[in-house]
Structure 1
């Protein structure tokens, strides 16, 4: 196999993934003697395509899976998708709206069929995207939350919880989305401050000339008032306790009650109580055993419990009419501007209505206590740890979970009713019929909250409740990689239900990744038109296509125009094909522990260059190997530069493995970048050229062997982050470096630092430090004297110990562009530029600009003098001398002496020029 002339990511990446999948590399080996490692993919919703947040998470997961696979673990990355009840139903209903059809026109059965068709399209798109990104999931075990096996697990869990008394049905106040016609959870409600009004309304006291004034932000709900509450300590109203009010517009008598909940200092100190339409009023109503009168239909219209003249009116139209009638009849005292928090559905943006409905609930107190205990005990840990506080706060203030949704798409609740309304909860209709003694049963129309089935993901995907090898090997999984926005939605519920039904925690670590924002720090969303499809980054897209994609579904022409202009400004040339490896490496560098992460295309451009650098470095090594084929495998003797790069390789392995172990993928990837670009390419490959020109065959052979050894190991180190490019290069390099190499880098062993550690590390460090310093000093001299790179000049080294520098001569000549190197006892008296080094001086033999050299020497003297003064302040401090280790103090004193000697020499040189 030969490498292409240039790096072409699309050709490389399209080639390797089908091979890996066909060979079955992604399947666990099920070796009972090997440790197991498992990650459960947070199942993407089948609502469309993946976005950059998905790509970010999946890159992190794939890095961990590939790394542990190479470390010899029995690895499983469990893939799958989520039916996402509300979200998916909305997508399909919008598709129907576009052709003028509603789900009710189709009927439940035909509508569900349409959703399954959409699931196929979206699910296939998602898995295609994941494959293109390089995700090494075991696709043979792919699961969907409404697969037959997972659906059976859902029924099993529901029935069990019902039988234990944790699931119950009751009429409770819930968040009701008028548009979706379903209950939604508190976490699906977004409350934001908006401008509103505070209406002050007079309620007459029965058989009296007195009245009470209440203040409300929702005057239409007064039609369902059942009481007015005052604070028991409010002296203004104590004489009215126990009296009765006449409800304006309705004429119904309602009591005045006392309750500590009422804030005497807010509004008028009197609160209208409408238990069927306010969560706080609901609690007060239960405490005082008040009736609950609902005055709204499920579609947000006034119902039959209100006076006839309002019945059938839409809720906000009814508000206007109620206010007008109150004013006309003299009950409206005043209207004040008022800022208030308005709850809206996060998917529809419709104002949420507290609604009294029959729903299924799960009692959470026992589960929340256990969930807190499992994390507190350390059985599960958050990374970063600060997210534990968020988790604790949510579980400490938990409410019973409304698990029913009035949708058609989802797991139908396994509850069946006879003609008398008796309920029978069972896994199947047959089991329910046995309980009821009749087949004349009707199944509940509601479906379960999506998060109910998702909460079972860690064990339902492993074919629970059947006892099997996968369940034993991969529960608990090792880490859950997820976002902070679903800690309560999903993470907490998985912990509670997995432990309840399996006795195991679902995962050991919870790695909370940051939220990917756009380059301007804005959250990515379709409405903002700033979403980036990872495949557009990988494959490339023209600016015209990108604009078209971002504005395709926008109804507002002005918004579309604004988004088009911003897109053209941000990406005037669209996206060039960067490839999956460059994207993955960029995402790894972004995986800090920050809460929000800005995504900048320039970073990907830089990392595509990095991929190209690796490709070209490999071509260079292969060219050298081809020129010295006879030396392959005979490099037993290693020069100090060979030993140095091997020892640096050992350090790299340690640092990268520490980065993976601590979930600091940014540090691991940065360390790889620095090693490859700086140590390997900028230094070792250049130094290796010198060795390969040596007349000594042993030196040549040692360097050829080291080039292959280091490059092959580096490719394995990088593979978890950059799988495609490393496989392509490794296929050529590995057979040369190791005749026993496996057939793919995917299943090769991760490098072990012990194989590269050198015994004479201090000697290596001293040699390389001095070599780099010498080359650096000469390069600085050249730059300061403005000597062009193509111009080679003689170099003289003044030293009393010639042997100390003889080993550096050939390296200095090549890397510093030097014509000849002469080691002398004393430099000739000349005005040529001189630099001071430890134990000697360096001089470039060139004609000089005296003024420029004077300036250079003056700056050097000032720089060293400042360093001396800084160190003297430290050494003159009595506390430092007393507390610092003696060897550190001695080292600082020696450095001051060295700097003083350098200043003296530089001063003499300056005096000579003057």
Structure 2
């Protein structure tokens, strides 16, 4: 400006707002300048990489990510591969300061081919993605033909995030095709990003990053791995919640405690595989269930549906195996001397199903499953190299599954009814089971020994009609049967009446207070609208509760 002014060529000066680049680390203004850089001509490299995916040599999971791949390759520009950094592969270009000659060579200390003087290497380094692009084959001994190269190239599956499809996946593809003549991997499994609980990308500037080592220190590596897979589909982002890690830790504890319980009762007992006729109905059911689980989980994993697979394993282990089968089988474990054949069948089933479950869970929780597996059995050296559970047609048993469902419906119905009525676990009641048909009647008789200890019954009566059942008996309708329990067995009428009278008195006080506030003109004119709305909601709630209490008192 000063020079222009001195020449008399300056017409005017004025302020002008425009975007100025700044360094993302220190905030210093970045001024662009022209400089010489190394480039890779991309047109000839891009075409084979596009064709490889179109022909199906490499597939994306989910498939729609091939659009991102094509988008970048079809509009690609020449790639600037030189960087002015201290760390990285130094560009193998050398200059002669005497005659100006420039060569590219593998030699670390070349002399000038023209004048014979020592040459100076280019100080720039290669773009980190250039180096990373060589990873699939450079780690296997390339350019030598090694055993590792023959065995591992191309590899089966690459797992990576959608944010580096261009930076890494594409560059590995065209580098592999150019240098080796074959794609580096058959499948590219794309996962999403882990975001914070508000859905924001984790970054240093926001300070919302989660250190995985802190999570592992607090909850364990298994819990963290399980969390990252649970409820997640390929290519989708997920939000990180500490509560979910805690839930995963709780699941690990459930597996550990169930395994300890089984091993504690197994002790050093010699368990042999029982004959089919020695297996009880509930044994046949859980074997059929884990058999189906193995089939479905294998199919899910082959389709890369890891989130679905892990949820099925969670549901089976926590609910079907721990909450139902182990509880149903306990009387046989505690009385093993009375019926050793039945106890052996129970122990064999527990051990067999637990081992299969551990194997299915192992890819997601490797550490706890390896520890339990090696303690539980000695036939296989490690769960990592053990045989994967396979579907066995002879274990499929739909009839046993249907009978187990009848048991679960029965137990659930009674438990829910007792919970709703606040019946203490110590209070036992007579239970009438009225079957809808002969088949259900027979099954309820056959299965009584399995469910009796789980329904807190003083007596179980199975019949085809309502004879002997009081009119005021509590009823629970389940599939193919109805459950009846005498009200007097469930409730101490005197104590229940005292409790309801006390609750009625409390509600009367609350209603008097709320009505007093809502009828106060000063409160209604000065209180915030939200406060008034809250009090009106309380009025509706207390009136509803009072109605229920009065109905229960009337029924008593």
For the residue of structure 1 that corresponds to 2:330, the secondary structure is: helix
- What is the match of residue 391 of structure 2? 753
Alignment of 1:656-805 (within 5 A): 656-692=297-333, 693=335, 695-735=338-378, 741-754=379-392, 757-759=394-396, 761-799=397-435, 801=438, 802-805=441-444
1:529 maps to 2:207: yes
Alignment of 1:476-555 (within 5 A): 476-539=154-217
768 and 807 in structure 1: CA distance in 2 versus 1, 3 angstrom threshold: same
1:812 and 1:818 in contact (8 A); partners too: no
Aligned pair partner of 1:629 in 242, 248, 269: 269
- What is the match of residue 450 of structure 1? 128
Q: How far apart, in 2, do the equivalents of 1:421 and 1:361 lie?
A: 20
Q: CA deviation at 1:341?
A: 5.9
Q: TM-score, normalised by structure 1?
A: 0.50
2:112 and 2:119 in contact (8 A); partners too: no
The answer to which structure has the higher helix fraction is 2
String of CA shifts for 1:91-132, please: whole Å, max 9, x gaps. xxxxxxxxxxxxxxxxxxxxxxxxxxxxxxxxxxxxxxxxxx
Q: How far apart, in 2, do the equivalents of 1:477 and 1:327 lie?
A: 70
1:644 and 1:768 in contact (8 A); partners too: yes
Alignment of 1:380-419 (within 5 A): 380-418=58-96, 419=98
Aligned pair partner of 1:363 in 41, 61, 64: 41
Q: CA deviation at 1:821?
A: 0.9
840 and 477 in structure 1: CA distance in 2 versus 1, 3 angstrom threshold: closer
Q: CA deviation at 1:475?
A: 0.8
Q: CA deviation at 1:356?
A: 2.2
Aligned pair partner of 1:423 in 102, 119, 144: 102
347 and 507 in structure 1: CA distance in 2 versus 1, 3 angstrom threshold: farther
Q: How far apart, in 1, do the equivalents of 2:192 and 2:239 lie?
A: 10
Q: How far apart, in 2, do the equivalents of 1:805 and 1:327 lie?
A: 109
2:328 and 2:451 in contact (8 A); partners too: no
436 and 381 in structure 1: CA distance in 2 versus 1, 3 angstrom threshold: farther
798 and 668 in structure 1: CA distance in 2 versus 1, 3 angstrom threshold: closer
- What is the match of residue 861 of structure 1? none
341 and 372 in structure 1: CA distance in 2 versus 1, 3 angstrom threshold: farther
The answer to which structure has the higher strand fraction is 1
Aligned pair partner of 2:10 in 315, 320, 329: 329
2:231 and 2:311 in contact (8 A); partners too: no
Q: How far apart, in 2, do the equivalents of 1:346 and 1:376 lie?
A: 38
Q: How far apart, in 1, do the equivalents of 2:164 and 2:24 lie?
A: 14
Alignment of 1:580-591 (within 5 A): 580-589=221-230, 591=232
836 and 666 in structure 1: CA distance in 2 versus 1, 3 angstrom threshold: closer
- What is the match of residue 904 of structure 1? none
Alignment of 1:122-133 (within 5 A): none
2:434 and 2:482 in contact (8 A); partners too: yes
Q: How far apart, in 2, do the equivalents of 1:625 and 1:652 lie?
A: 25
Q: CA deviation at 1:621?
A: 0.9
Q: How far apart, in 2, do the equivalents of 1:685 and 1:612 lie?
A: 16
1:635 and 1:703 in contact (8 A); partners too: no
2:469 and 2:486 in contact (8 A); partners too: no
781 and 440 in structure 1: CA distance in 2 versus 1, 3 angstrom threshold: closer
2:193 and 2:236 in contact (8 A); partners too: yes
1:809 maps to 2:454: no
RMSD: 2.9
Q: How far apart, in 2, do the equivalents of 1:503 and 1:405 lie?
A: 28
Q: How far apart, in 2, do the equivalents of 1:784 and 1:409 lie?
A: 68
Aligned pair partner of 1:602 in 227, 237, 243: 243
Deviates more, 1:691-700 or 1:485-494: 691-700
1:798 and 1:826 in contact (8 A); partners too: yes
Aligned residue pairs total 485
1:836 and 1:842 in contact (8 A); partners too: yes
Q: How far apart, in 2, do the equivalents of 1:606 and 1:684 lie?
A: 22
Alignment of 1:263-282 (within 5 A): none
Q: How far apart, in 2, do the equivalents of 1:732 and 1:705 lie?
A: 16
